[in-house]
Amino acid sequence: MSTETDQGPGITSGTGAKADQKANRRARRVLFGCAAITVLTTLSIFFVLIDNAASYFFGARITEVLVGGSFEQTITFTEFFTGTRWAPDHSTPAHGILPIAFGTIAITVGAAFVSIPIGTATALYLSEYSSKSVRSKLKPTLEVLAGIPTIVYGYFAISFINPVMLGPIAESLFGISIGRYSMLSGMIVVGIMTIPMVSSISEDAMQAVPDDLRNGAYALGATKFDVSLNVVIPAAVSGIFASYILAVSRAIGETMAVTLAAGFNANITANPFSEIMTMTAYMVSMARGTSAVGTVEYQSLFAVGLVLFLMTLVMNLMNDWFKRRFQEEYR
């Protein structure tokens, strides 16, 4: 203070103020550094994926080409994207990603049929219908559901959903004897896993709808159901849709549970009780350590990883687009 008194009104930068500004700049740099780490990590993962995927398709990494190697395409994109047999590690290898892409998409769509209706209904119940006491019990339960390790869900599928729930149905209704793994079991378990995501994010969006709107509708003689359906859901639609995208992205990338539930047999099938393989399950089976670094099957991991990365990227872009298009209109 005393230094400032001889500088007139005390608004010019005295020594104290200079030090403040310095500390401010330092804090800003530290925070920027932390933010930069996440960006750098993403970029380097993307680079490693591309680099190794290049080796898978063209026989050489980008880094090798830079020091004098040359590209020579060994696996064509046509084979990769349209081939219907996936066996890079087989004695007669095949590189068609369709069977495992089918596995991933089937599980994702099936899981969405479980998580979206149940999650949305749960969110609506919590936000509009439930009493405080029910809500205070249901919300933590859902959070516990979200916190269970995915491997536990996997064993839940393999020891309960598949043999106890689905086995008898397959046997008695369709005469099919179910194996250790099934596509349907994977769909159900991933669906259950992603319910909390849909319900908690959707509920946040519904809670953010101003009570003014609800009261306006109630005062016109609307029932709770009218208000939920015609006022709350339309007003919260962008948040609800965001929760769907997140749940779907999660289902695409889901690994442990789906591997244990749906199995390791890459095939395109309409039979929900048969074993399939997702892209992530393939990566898990490769990661068991039997394939040497540098082999084609090792490099195939990165090609598959790159495709997964692009799929989730597309989901994120869709989310952004939808958010811009349907941002909450109320103030």
Partner 1 sequence: MSTQQEDSLITTDVSITDTGRTDQPDTTVVEAQNLDVFYGSDQAIDNVSMEIPEHKVTAMIGPSGCGKSTFLRCINRMNDQIDVCRVEGDITFHGKNVYDNDVDPVALRRKIGMVFQKPNPFPKSIYDNVAYGLRVQGREKEVDLDAEVERALRGAALWDEVNDKLDSSGLDLSGGQQQRLCIARAIAPDPEVILMDEPTSALDPIAAAKIEDLIDDLADEYTVIIVTHNMQQAARISDKTAVFLTGGELVEFGETQRIFEDPEHKQVEDYITGKFG
Q: Which residues bind partner 1 (CB under 8 A)?
A: 131-132, 210-223, 226, 230-231, 234-235, 328-330
CB of 313 to partner 1, least distance (A): 31
Contact 273, 285 (CB under 8 A): no
**Which 3-state string (H, E, C) describes the chain?**
CHHHHCCCCCCCCCHHHHHHHHHHHHHHHHHHHHHHHHHHHHHHHHHHHHHHHHHHHHCCCHHHHHCCCCCCCCCCHHHHHHCCCEECCCCCCEECCHHHHHHHHHHHHHHHHHHHHHHHHHHHHHHHHCCHHHHHHHHHHHHHHHHCCHHHHHHHHHHHHHHHHHHHHHHHHHCCCCCCCCHHHHHHHHHHHHHHHHHHHHHHHHHCCCHHHHHHHHHCCCCHHHHHHHHHHHHCHHHHHHHHHHHHHHHHHCCHHHHHHHCCCCCCCCCCCCCCCCHHHHHHHHCCCCCCCCCHHHHHHHHHHHHHHHHHHHHHHHHHHHHHHCCCCCC
Residues of 264-286 as b/e, b for ≥16 C-beta within 10 angstroms? eebbbeeebbbbbbbbbbbbbbb
CB of 242 to partner 1, least distance (A): 17
Q: Both tokens of residue 17? A: 């103020």
CB of 238 to partner 1, least distance (A): 11
Residue type, 87: A
Q: Is the Cβ of residue 52 or residue 202 nearer to partner 1 in the bound state?
A: 202
Beta-ladder partners of 95 = 86
Q: Is the Cβ of residue 187 or residue 206 nearer to partner 1 in the bound state?
A: 206
CB of 125 to partner 1, least distance (A): 16
Q: Is the Cβ of residue 118 or residue 229 nearer to partner 1 in the bound state?
A: 229
CB of 226 to partner 1, least distance (A): 5
CB of 293 to partner 1, least distance (A): 56
**Among 253, 262, 256, which Cα is nearest to 315's?**
253
